[in-house]
């Protein structure tokens, strides 16, 4: 399907602990109203009965009245929140399990952000993870940026949107999916059947028949469409199937002839049904899937537009309150604004939703990956605000910023989507404030760069006697790298008489758009090697919480990723067991190491497999990776599995210390900080957390002291398995990005820390023995990293540092307490010595300059300028500067000096010094030296009268100085003729 098509809906991974409900006589699971209410409560939504009693919810659903000609005041049943609840309740009553929206950061390496509904169900659709419920329904938050330029310009494009979805994992298929979609649309939502059109795949006669013969949709409102529009594929191979879409007709009076369902002025596609029934082979043939699946998606914003009777998605109560706040800050009326201003208001309204949710889900602005997405959205919002003359100086703002003010409105109207937004509010607002202030500085740099580019364009035009044009690549560089609006580029360039090559700009923009679509708008859903092996292998039973030794049966072997029956000595192998004491890497904790032993009853010999790592794959199957040191191993054999106890203890110590570290950070720098990642290894721990600045020395000391105090308290840990709702109510912290089922494991250090965690931990904090931070640094914007050691690793670290100190004391011949004073003295002596050497070098360079001054020659007719271009051996950059300053004074005005040297291996230094008369001719040292430095593999610049540059190719310096002399003489002759 095209990128502009309605994407499929979305759900989080199904929990393995969810229970099946009894079957109804029709074969579908029955849910009573109590179970529906419990499911809604699980994801933060009230049921219908509770809505009647809740003034808060009524207020949250209060009507929003966009000022539009055709606006009809909504009722409580047509608010965005109500539409969402009604969808979930409808499918819950049909036997679907209501699952919460998962993070915008997907647990899938093939995509950057959550872009489609089926993403989290991919393992289920592939048959690699057994279904835990037969069917599910979700309201999923999604992000797409491939159509970012259409946001605000069309009635339906967004970067952030909610997808309502219902899914079947081999439970029901086409007939039920179509019947319920029609019932939901016409009865639950009350859409007039005369306004609904259907599209079907041209070869899917079964679907056509259901719509026409069973549902009763007239043939003239069913359109057969080709593979491009109505056949869904996951890639070149893998699961695929036909689609059927429901469109709403805003203008049925236009009749049924020459109808184009892609006509946005008349139709909007609001519901997409994907019938996943085939597996596409390498040769392109279609093989029926053993398990046929349903994957659907209804756009919440689109349905709200239809039911609230507004002209576009932006004027629904899901977005319009944000636009109203922006209009207030811009001091403009949305109703009276021109199209250009309305577009800018819509862009900010859309982007702010995406920004707030991305930051809430732990995505912070940076220059790579997901961080770049949120940074780009923030910059676009700031640019649009500045074009609307919002400058961040309104009363009540946050230190000269305006995005945090708008974000508060987003949070206020979005608590029913995600209650966690309010608890993360301060972090979101602080991050927005920092990024906006940072970008204002970037904009100012962009303005400076634009001036330089315009100077270059004017100079080029003058030399070549052409019309001045700013290259499209330069305009795109300003737009993409510096966030400088192309509209402002055109306006400023026009004021200086320079046009902008927009055709070249459009080419650059299209290249970026294609790359973005290719990188972020596909989901790989291909059956991988080994799928046949895992079809009959159950999940691995983990015994490692209670024991480090067990017997197990080999259920599968992989050699170079391919299934085999037996593997012999010397081979690297992956072993799948029915049960294991080995911990598989997850939650930041690395996998255990140890041994697998197999007694060969036939020969009496023992096979030994050294396990170096354990990973989870294909759901909850543990893959033991190791080397066969002795003998051989075969499928079906019984093995003795033994974990390396010392390494496990080191991992346990570091994992518990990580929990204490998070608790200490929250006490010292604030509760709003949160975990952004971790590594629990045998030799150290690493903890990433959200914070906007470097920690001060006294803060790090306080963190260490707190943790060591808790270690000394010898507190026994408590581990419980409980319902996730109960765990959160008790205050347990959930790790961002982790997927949790309905039952979770809670690790509690009473009075200190309580977290949801599946890792291994010490029994008592005294086992940690000691804790030491070894580094603290920033790893990206708004994210810091602490590395630390505990337990045996702590003892080793302290012992090693003590040995270093002893060696240092011996070398310096002082006591340990006197080392800082002695080192400070040495550093001062070194500074004085360097200063003396620098002065001596400068004097030497000046002396050399006095000698070569005689090499200066005169250039010009009306005015004669003294010119000197010379090579000064290995003179360092500072001394070269002193020489140039001496020469420009000695030769007197007018004079132009270019000097070059090779101060070291692979090093080039260049300097240009022009006297005032030369500068007044329009010749600038900073601009002149740049192209010369490029020849030497470097660059540089400076003021009009003085500039320095460097390079990495000394072999090119001679040629560069020759060019400098030629170019300088040429331009001086032109200026003085």
Binding residues for Zn(2+): 655, 659, 757, 761
**Helix (H/G/I), strand (E/B), else coil: 915:** coil
Backbone CA torsion sign across 304, 308, 311, 315: negative
Spatial contact of 773 and 794, defined as CB atoms under 8 Å apart: no
Tell me the backbone φ, ψ of residue 148, rounded to 5 degrees. -60, -30
Report the distance separating Cα 947 and Cα 944, nearest Å. Answer: 7
Nearest to 322 by CA among 426, 439, 402, 437: 402
User: In 3-state terms, what secondary structure has residue 447?
Assistant: helix
Tokens of 218: 């007239």
Before 894, cis peptide (omega within 30)? yes
DSSP secondary structure code for residue 589 in this structure: B
Q: What angle do CA 490, 496, 498 make, to 5 degrees?
A: 55
Two structure tokens written together for 418: 């995600």
Q: What are phi and psi of 199, to 5 degrees?
A: -115, 145
If one counts every other C-beta atom within 10 angstroms of the C-beta of residue 749, the result is 22
How far is Cα 61 from Cα 96, in angstroms, rounded to an integer?
25
Q: Which residues contact 465 (CB under 8 A, 6 or more apart)?
A: none
CA separation, residue 893 to residues 208, 362, 882, 890, 927 (Å): 89, 60, 17, 9, 20
DSSP one-letter code for 131: -
Q: Which three-class secondary structure string do you get for 243-306? A: EEEEEEECCHHHCCCCCCCCCCCCEEEEEEEEEEEEEECCCCCEEEEEEEEEEEEEEHHHHHHH
**Computed from CA positions of residues 897, 898, 901, 903, in that sequence, does the dihedral angle turn out positive or negative?**
positive
**Residue 740 and residue 721: Cα distance in Å, rounded?**
12
- Phi-psi sector, 751: left (phi>0), alpha (psi -120 to 50), beta: left
C-alpha to C-alpha distance for 407 and 429, rounded to whole angstroms: 7
795-800 long-range contacts (CB < 8 A, ≥24 apart) are 795/769, 795/770, 797/772, 798/770, 798/772
How far apart (Å, rounded) are the C-alpha atoms in residues 848 and 238? Answer: 74
C-alpha closest to that of 145 among 375, 461, 485? 375
DSSP reduced 3-state for 162: strand
Asked whether the beta carbons of 142 and 114 are under 8 A apart, the reply is: yes
Cα gap 173→242, rounded to integer Å: 12
Contact predicate 817/798, CB 8 Å: no
Round to whole Å and give the CA distance between 96 and 307: 24
DSSP secondary structure of 816-853: GGGHHHHHHHHHHHHHHHHHHHHHHHHHHHHHHHHHHG
* Cα(403)–Cα(417) distance, integer angstroms: 21
CA distances in angstroms from 31 to 39, 89, 167, 171, 729, listed in the order given: 10, 10, 16, 16, 25
Which residues are part of a known binding site? 655, 659, 757, 761
List the one residue out of 897, 898, 887, 901 whose CA is nearest residue 850: 887
Could you give the CA distance from residue 117 to residue 841 in angstroms, rounded to a whole number?
Answer: 68
Q: Do 856 and 882 meet the contact criterion of CB atoms below 8 Å apart? A: no
């Amino acid at each position: 399907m095209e990128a502009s098509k309605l994407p499929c809906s979305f759900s989080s991974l199904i929990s393995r602990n969810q229970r099946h409900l009894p079957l109804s006589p029709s074969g579908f699971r029955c849910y009573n109203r109590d179970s529906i209410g419990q499911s809604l409560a699980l994801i933060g939504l009230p049921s219908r009965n509770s809505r009647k009693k809740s003034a808060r919810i009524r207020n949250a659903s209060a009507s929003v009245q966009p000022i539009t000609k055709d606006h009809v005041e909504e009722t409580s049943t047509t608010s965005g929140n109500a539409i969402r609840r009604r969808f979930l309740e409808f499918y819950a009553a049909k036997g679907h399990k209501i699952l919460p929206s998962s993070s915008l950061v997907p647990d899938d390496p093939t995509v950057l952000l959550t872009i489609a509904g089926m993403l989290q169900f991919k393992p289920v659709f592939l048959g690699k993870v057994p279904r835990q419920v037969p069917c599910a329904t979700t309201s999923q938050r999604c992000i797409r940026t491939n159509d970012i330029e259409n946001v605000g310009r069309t009635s339906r494009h967004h970067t952030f949107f909610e997808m309502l979805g219902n899914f079947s994992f081999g439970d029901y298929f086409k007939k039920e999916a179509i019947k319920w979609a029609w019932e939901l649309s016409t009865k639950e939502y009350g859409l007039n059947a005369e306004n609904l059109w259907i599209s079907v795949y041209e070869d899917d006669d079964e679907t056509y028949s259901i719509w026409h013969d069973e549902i009763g949709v007239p043939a003239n409102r069913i359109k057969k469409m080709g593979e491009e529009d109505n056949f869904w594929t996951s890639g070149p191979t893998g699961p695929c199937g036909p689609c059927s879409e429901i469109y709403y007709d805003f203008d049925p009076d236009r009749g049924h002839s020459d109808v184009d369902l892609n006509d946005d002025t008349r139709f909007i596609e609001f519901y997409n049904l994907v019938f996943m029934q085939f597996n596409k082979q390498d040769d392109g043939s279609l093989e029926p899937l053993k398990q046929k699946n349903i994957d659907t998606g209804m756009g919440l914003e689109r349905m709200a537009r239809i039911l609230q009777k507004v002209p576009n998605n932006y004027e629904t109560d899901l977005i319009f309150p944000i636009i109203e706040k922006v209009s207030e800050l811009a001091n403009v009326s949305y109703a009276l604004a021109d199209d250009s201003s309305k577009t800018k208001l819509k862009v900010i309204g859309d982007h702010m939703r995406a920004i707030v949710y991305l930051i809430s889900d732990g995505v912070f602005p940076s220059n790579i990956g997901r961080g770049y997405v949120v940074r780009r959205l923030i910059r676009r919002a700031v640019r649009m605000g500045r074009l609307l003359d919002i400058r961040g100086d309104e009363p009540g703002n946050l230190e000269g910023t305006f995005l945090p003010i708008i974000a508060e409105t987003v949070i206020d109207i979005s608590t029913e989507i995600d209650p966690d937004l309010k608890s993360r509010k301060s972090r979101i607002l602080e991050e927005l404030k920092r990024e906006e202030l940072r970008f204002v500085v970037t904009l100012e740099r962009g303005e400076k760069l634009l001036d330089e580019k315009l100077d270059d364009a004017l100079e080029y035009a003058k030399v070549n006697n052409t019309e001045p044009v700013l290259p499209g690549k330069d305009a795109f560089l300003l737009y993409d790298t510096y966030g400088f609006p192309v509209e402002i580029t055109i306006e400023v360039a026009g004021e200086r008489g320079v046009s902008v090559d927009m055709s070249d700009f459009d080419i650059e923009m299209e290249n970026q758009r294609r790359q973005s679509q290719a990188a972020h708008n596909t989901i790989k859903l291909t059956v991988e090697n080994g799928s046949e092996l895992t079809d009959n292998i159950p999940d691995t039973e983990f015994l490692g919480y209670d024991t480090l030794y067990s017997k197990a049966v080999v259920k599968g072997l992989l050699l170079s990723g391919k299934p085999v029956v037996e593997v012999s000595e010397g081979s690297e192998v992956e072993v799948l067991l029915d049960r294991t004491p080995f911990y598989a890497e997850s939650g930041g904790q690395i996998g255990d190491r140890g041994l697998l032993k197999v007694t060969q009853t036939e020969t009496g010999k023992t096979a030994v497999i050294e396990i170096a790592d354990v990973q989870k794959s294909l759901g909850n199957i543990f893959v033991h990776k190791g080397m066969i040191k002795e003998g051989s191993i075969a499928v079906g054999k019984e093995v003795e599995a033994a974990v390396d106890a010392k390494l496990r203890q080191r991992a346990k110590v570091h994992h518990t210390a990580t929990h204490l570290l998070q608790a200490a950070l929250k006490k010292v720098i604030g509760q709003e900080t949160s975990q952004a990642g971790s590594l629990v290894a045998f030799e150290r721990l690493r903890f990433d957390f959200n914070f906007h600045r470097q920690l001060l020395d006294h803060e790090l000391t306080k963190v260490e002291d707190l943790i060591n105090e808790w270690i000394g308290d010898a507190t026994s840990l408590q581990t419980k398995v409980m319902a996730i709702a109960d765990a959160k109510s008790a205050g347990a912290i959930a790790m961002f990005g982790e997927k949790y089922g309905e039952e979770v494991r809670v690790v509690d250090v009473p009075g200190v820390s309580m977290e949801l965690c599946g890792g291994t931990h010490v029994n008592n904090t005294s086992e940690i023995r000691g804790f030491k931070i070894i580094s603290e640094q920033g790893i990206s914007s708004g994210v810091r990293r602490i590395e630390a050691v505990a337990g045996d690793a702590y003892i080793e670290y302290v012992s090693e540092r003590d040995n270093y100190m002893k060696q240092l004391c011996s070398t310096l011949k002082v006591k340990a307490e006197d080392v800082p004073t002695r080192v400070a003295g040495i550093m001062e002596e070194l500074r004085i010595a360097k200063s003396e050497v620098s002065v001596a070098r400068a004097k030497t360079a000046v002396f050399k300059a006095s000698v070569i001054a005689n090499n200066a020659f005169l250039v010009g007719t009306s005015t004669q300028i003294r010119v000197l271009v010379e090579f000064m051996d290995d003179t360092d950059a500072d001394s070269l500067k002193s020489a140039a300053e001496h020469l420009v004074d000695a030769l007197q005005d007018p004079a132009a000096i270019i000097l070059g040297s090779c101060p070291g291996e692979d090093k080039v230094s260049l300097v240009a010094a022009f006297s005032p008369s030369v500068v007044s001719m329009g010749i600038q040292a900073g601009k002149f030296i740049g192209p010369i430095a490029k020849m030497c593999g470097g660059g540089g610049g400076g003021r009009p009268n003085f500039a320095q540059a460097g390079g990495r190719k000394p072999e090119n310096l001679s040629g560069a100085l020759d060019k400098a002399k030629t170019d300088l003489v040429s331009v001086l002759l032109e200026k003085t003729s």
